[in-house]
Structure 1
Amino acid sequence: MRFIQTRLPWLLLAISALLLEAAALYFQYGLELDPCVLCIYQRAAVMGIFFSALIGMSAPRSIVARMIGYAGWGLAAGWCLYLALELSGMQLGMVQPSLSCDVNAKFPAWLKLDQWLPMVFQPTGFCGDIQWQFLGLSMPLWMLIIMLLQLIVLGVVLSIELRTKLSG
Structure 2
Amino acid sequence: MTTPAFESLLNRLFSPCIYWSALLIGSLSAEGVALYFQYGLDYGPCVLCIHIRLWVAALVLVAVAGLVAQRCTHVQKACHLLTAVIALGFTERSWRTLAIERSWIESSCSFESGLPEWFAPDRWWPWMFEIWESCGYTPEMLGGLTMAELLAGAGVVFVPLAFIGLIRSLRSTD
Report the Cα distance in structure 1 between the residues aligned to 2:12 and 2:73, rounded to whole angstroms: 13
Q: Deviations over 1:123-160 (max 9, x none)?
A: 11121124324334221111111122122222332343
Paired residues, number: 164
Report the Cα distance in structure 2 between the residues aligned to 1:117 and 1:11, rounded to whole angstroms: 25
Letter paired with 1:70: H
> Judging changes above 3 Å, is the alpha-carbon distance between structure 1 residues 75 and 143 closer, same or farther for their aligned structure 2 residues?
same
Q: Which runs of 5+ in 2 are unaligned?
A: 1-10
Report the Cα distance in structure 2 between the residues aligned to 1:3 and 1:36, rounded to whole angstroms: 34
Q: Which segments of structure 1 move beyond 6 Å, counting only runs of 4 or more?
A: none
Letter paired with 1:46: V
User: What is the aligned counterpart of 1:38 among 22, 45, 48?
Assistant: 48
Report the Cα distance in structure 2 between the residues aligned to 1:162 and 1:110, rounded to whole angstroms: 33
Q: What percent of counterpart residues are identical?
A: 26
> In angstroms, what is the RMSD of aligned CA positions?
2.1
> Judging changes above 3 Å, is the alpha-carbon distance between structure 1 residues 63 and 134 closer, same or farther for their aligned structure 2 residues?
same
In the alignment, is residue 114 of structure 1 matched against residue 119 of structure 2? no
Letter paired with 1:124: W
Q: Normalising by structure 2, what TM-score?
A: 0.84
**Number of the residue aligned with 2:162:** 154
Q: Which runs of 5+ in 1 are unaligned?
A: none
Shift of 1:164: 4.6
Report the Cα distance in structure 2 between the residues aligned to 1:20 and 1:26, rounded to whole angstroms: 10
* Contact preservation (8 Å) 1:58, 1:65: no
Report the Cα distance in structure 2 between the residues aligned to 1:34 and 1:97, rounded to whole angstroms: 19
Q: Deviations over 1:12-58 (max 9, x none)?
A: 21111111100100011111111110000000000111111112112
Letter paired with 2:80: Y
In the alignment, is residue 105 of structure 1 matched against residue 80 of structure 2? no
In the alignment, is residue 137 of structure 1 matched against residue 145 of structure 2? yes
Map 1:54-65 → 2, pairs under 5 A: 54-65=64-75
